Chain A
Amino acid sequence: MNAVWPHLPAWQVVIPLLGAALVAFLRHSGAAFAVALAVSWLMPLIAGAMLWQVLATGPISYHLGSWPPPWGIEYRVDVLSGFVLVLVSAVGAVVMPFARRSVAFEVEDGQQAWFYCMYLLCLTGLLGIVITGDAFNAFVFLEVSSLSTYVLVALGRDRRALLAAFQYLILGTIGATFYIIGVGLLYLLTGSLNMVDIAARLGPEWADHSRAIVAALAFITVGVSLKLALFPLHAWLPNAYAYAPSWVTVFLSATATKVAIYLLVRYYFSIFGVAIEFRDLPETEIILVLSVAAMFVASLIAVFQTDLKRMLAYSSVAQIGYITLGIGLANQAGLTGGLVHIVNHALMKAALFLAVGAIFFRVRSVRLPDLAGIGRRMPVTMTAFTIGCLGLVGTPGTSGFISKWYLALGAFDKGWWVLVFLIVGSSLIALVYVGRVLEVVWLREPSAAIADASDPPLSMLLPLVVLAAATIYFGFDTGWTAGIADIAARDLLGGLR
């Protein structure tokens, strides 16, 4: 056991990396899928074990190659990172079985093995960003995940996928550059790259808002915001989501943006927040304003989409606004709401994109006019889809309500009445865009185009049903979502000046 237990943090990243290499050698789509599935199912076990340990005994600090920090790279798992690790790996594990048929259907034969290779690299990068305690190492993992994502998006059959991937590449690279400039500034200021060490070295003597530190904060904010698609830096997202293979959209929507949000939270609360009173900075206000703008503008754009994937993509931009709103509120209830929405939104959006993937698998189209009456042809799929939609609106009894409850309480605690109304008001727009779709899929007469559509095979249906059930389950039992988010928020806010 000794070779395994103390080295869990390393295994979390090394296993998918080795898996990617293995797949690259195998080059057989079936074998590649098997490896990807095995790795995906192993990951949540490792992440879960670490989170359990963190909750029992406090943060884990793992020194890579036994080099002590701040010289060596430290992997650090606290409640927040354990929480996000479990989310990312669990979503990967649940949705992986869906990939086999969906990818076989949408990706050319010769490229399927590479698809799984890229997925494993992407998983490596995402898990790495969350687990590392080193600012530069996070940049490396950010690039690992981003580069593999560009490939995954470009594998879409639609030729526009190439353009979408290119657009994403350009903006993603700009984001990474901004991020690394910010890290460089921090390094100049403190001479350290270890996050805990940077925070310690910044210390209270920087409390007078040194320009350099604010500049570093600004660069990192913009860089990471590009990655997490904070309005109006979201331009890459709708195209990337719409033209990527269905399964890629599922995976990205549930994990990639969430990990970027994690990084933002990490910098704000564990590094800058320790050194300066960042809640007084204009950056925080800007985040709040942009979040609200995202909630409204992106939702309104979603109302006018006819392509289901694009509609859900814009909805993602809006929902990310809720999460960043919680970060901007930066009080106990608000931050809990933001953090819990990372999980809740990941689960419901994954369910929705899975349903869309299932529709495409059967109908070869996800355009709304083609889907009239499909509820009667694919009842299980569309019921799960409907549950996801209710989650987006934030109906009580779904996990979405829990997020909004906390966010609204956070706004109320600050005395911002208007914000409470904005939060619930934007839900109303969500009702409009999902209502539009539900009306067409359930109430219209089925068209000839979908005459022989039916629910997809079990391997695709099961992940969908599990995620839809989770959307309802976490609307009632919130111990694993809001409970842990609450602890994480307390930790983060407790460290602030």
Chain B
Amino acid sequence: MMASLSTEGLVAAAVLTPFVGALLIPLFRSSPNLRETVTLVTAGTLCLVTFSLLGPVLDGARPELQILRIVPGLDLAFKVEPLGMLFALVAASLWVVNSIYSIGYMRANDEPRQTTFYVCFAIALGSTIGIAFARNLFTLFLCYEALTLSTYPLVTHKRNEEAVRAGRLYLLLLIGTSLLLLLPAIIATWAIAGTLDFTPGGILAGKAGAPVIAVLLVLYVFGIGKAAVMPLHFWLPAAMVAPTPVSALLHAVAVVKAGVFTVVKVAVFVFGVDNLAALGQSAWLTAVAGTTVIVASIVALRQDNLKRRLAYSTVSQLSYVVLGVAILAPISLTGAAMHIAAHAFSKITLFFAAGSIYTAAHLSEVSQLDGIGRRMPWTMAAFTIGALGMIGIPPTAGFLGKWFILTGAMQTANWLAVSVIVASTLLNAGYFLPIVFRAFFRESPDDGHGHGPKSGEAPWPMVLALTATAAGSMFLFFFPGIPYALATLMMGR
């Protein structure tokens, strides 16, 4: 049946599937098993649909879907290009794994309001696919805001004072930056370029001088709050109050990647890389991204709460992508795109591990993790692979993205970028390896706690999920064909 669908139909199916799922899930609220089946079927369908788009895209097709023209300049339209394809593949395939994990986590921790949880999750994924496939800035902006709004109930899931406060910060920073900076930038782009359609080479190329471009770039980079460029990163650590599956898929993959994806997209298809390079925009962006990489790493060093440490690590890793853009060399942009995929697999593994430690042993602080590796070998092995990915050591995909970005930095003699990458690699090792060391080489404290060393791993769906993503991050190192092809095709060559 899939084969008979046109590619245009596939685009529509990809965007709509999660929303249909979101409508169906509440119908089965009285039967959790059926409800979770709906989630799994939706995620599976989405994954299938996205993968069936891959072939045509690699063959050079760019399936389009124009839905409606709202007013001149505001078109609701989708178009699948390689970079969006890559992002959608990552999000869709990890949603399947994450759904399995969610079922284990939500049930084992006896979380309330699970129907709302799964509904919001599906809407968030639908919005993510919308961002990935958006043909123009308006469609992207629409889905971007929908993603913020649909994840708000997930961040505030616990409904206690802390969660509500975190939700406030989350909403204010994300909606605030998007309304205050991103929207004016979009309006200005429309007024200057006369179009909002993403076009290879950039729609602003040759339309405005250096000062205007610089102002717009500032508006975009900081307006895309989801990219968590410092000092607008506070929402991300705050969002860690959400249940771990949310932190794992949304705040390590979908939401934050939507941010850096948008940055890459804007740089390549709105400004045009050559245009930015010609106007000398590389230096300050490198400085901003580099500062974020380093400062966030240093802050991560000092975090004892595991999820917060991971969150700051995410802030730092996201700016790698921005750094890849800032270098403005084609190879570094390829690296940036690769890093979106690589970091997704590694970071989701780390969060899965954190959630599984919390579920099985009720531990959340790094200092409590002595000897946990012996109790939860699968979890901590996966954690180790994820940590290697963060540092960028083979055989993990994290190595590839970093390698390409570094190559680009060398080519353009951007020594600031080179030193940032080297320094941050050391810092990454500094805040991840001690955890691994604690877990495997220290004795576990005998605290007489109910969960002694005997209680082992988390429920099997969780272990299955984290093993799968860890394996995925190694798989991508040995077989980087698909992401690499998409990342090189992205530049339109």
Which of these, A396, A425, A435, A478, contacts B71 with CB under 8 Å? Answer: A478
Answer whether A395 and B190 are a contact pair too, CB < 8 Å, given A408-B184, A482-B71. Answer: no
Contact, CB under 8 Å: A412 / B71? no
Which of these, B142, B167, B190, contacts A443 with CB under 8 Å? Answer: B167
Which of these, B141, B179, B180, B187, contacts A409 with CB under 8 Å? Answer: B187
Contact, CB under 8 Å: A435 / B168? yes
Q: From residue 196 to 254 of chain B, which have CB atoms closer than 8 A to chain A?
A: none
> In the complex, A396 Cα to B156 Cα: how many Å?
23
Contact, CB under 8 Å: B68 / A428? no
Contact, CB under 8 Å: B142 / A397? yes
The answer, yes or no, to whether A427 is at the interface (CB within 8 Å) is yes
Chain A residues lying within 8 Å of B179, measured Cβ to Cβ, are: 393-394, 424, 427-428, 431
Contact, CB under 8 Å: B145 / A425? no
Chain B residues lying within 8 Å of A405, measured Cβ to Cβ, are: 71, 73-74, 187
Contact, CB under 8 Å: A402 / B180? no
Pick out which of these stretches binds chain A: B169-177, B267-275, B354-362, B425-433.
B169-177
Contact, CB under 8 Å: B171 / A435? yes
Number of A-B contacts (CB under 8 A): 75
Q: For residue A473, give the distance in angstroms from its CB to the closest CB of chain B.
A: 11
Answer whether A412 and B145 are a contact pair too, CB < 8 Å, given A435-B171, A443-B156. Answer: no
Contact, CB under 8 Å: A431 / B175? yes
Chain A residues lying within 8 Å of B172, measured Cβ to Cβ, are: 431-432, 435
Contact, CB under 8 Å: B168 / A409? no
Q: From residue 277 to 301 of chain B, which have CB atoms closer than 8 A to chain A?
A: none
Which of these, A396, A406, A431, A478, contacts B141 with CB under 8 Å? Answer: A396
The answer, yes or no, to whether B183 is at the interface (CB within 8 Å) is yes
> In the complex, A397 Cα to B70 Cα: how many Å?
10
Chain B residues lying within 8 Å of A304, measured Cβ to Cβ, are: none
Chain B residues lying within 8 Å of A478, measured Cβ to Cβ, are: 70-71
Contact, CB under 8 Å: A424 / B71? no
Contact, CB under 8 Å: A421 / B180? yes
Which of these, A390, A396, A397, A420, contacts B184 with CB under 8 Å? Answer: A420
Of chain B, the residue at the smallest CB distance from A483 is B71
Q: How many residues from B make CB contacts under 8 Å with A?
A: 30
Q: From residue 150 to 192 of chain B, which have CB atoms closer than 8 A to chain A?
A: 153, 156, 159, 164, 167-168, 171-172, 175-176, 179-180, 183-184, 187-188, 190-191
> In the complex, A420 Cα to B244 Cα: how many Å?
39
- By size class, the interface of chain A is 20 to 34
Contact, CB under 8 Å: A395 / B149? yes
Of chain A, the residue at the smallest CB distance from B148 is A395
The answer, yes or no, to whether A476 is at the interface (CB within 8 Å) is yes
Chain B residues lying within 8 Å of A428, measured Cβ to Cβ, are: 175-176, 179-180
Of chain A, the residue at the smallest CB distance from B138 is A396
The answer, yes or no, to whether A413 is at the interface (CB within 8 Å) is yes
Which of these, A402, A420, A424, A432, contacts B70 with CB under 8 Å? Answer: A402
The answer, yes or no, to whether A285 is at the interface (CB within 8 Å) is no
The answer, yes or no, to whether A477 is at the interface (CB within 8 Å) is yes
A442-469 CB mask vs B (1 if < 8 Å, else 0) is 1111000000000000000000000000
Answer whether A431 and B168 are a contact pair too, CB < 8 Å, given A395-B145, A405-B74, A477-B70. Answer: no
Contact, CB under 8 Å: B188 / A397? no
> In the complex, A443 Cα to B113 Cα: how many Å?
12
Q: Which 5 pairs show the lowest CB-CB distances between chains A and B?
A: A396-B142, A412-B191, A408-B187, A424-B179, A420-B184
List 20 A-B residue pairs with CB atoms under 8 Å apart, sorted by A's residue number: A390-B149, A393-B179, A396-B145, A397-B145, A397-B146, A405-B187, A408-B187, A409-B190, A420-B184, A420-B187, A424-B180, A424-B184, A428-B179, A432-B172, A443-B167, A445-B159, A475-B70, A476-B68, A476-B70, A482-B71
B residues neighboring A (CB under 8 Å): 68, 70-71, 73-74, 76, 138, 141-142, 145-146, 149, 153, 156, 159, 164, 167-168, 171-172, 175-176, 179-180, 183-184, 187-188, 190-191
Known: A402-B70, A412-B187, A482-B71. 20 other contacts (CB 8 A): A390-B149, A393-B175, A395-B145, A395-B149, A396-B138, A397-B145, A405-B71, A405-B74, A406-B71, A408-B183, A408-B184, A420-B184, A421-B180, A424-B183, A427-B179, A428-B176, A431-B176, A443-B164, A443-B167, A477-B70
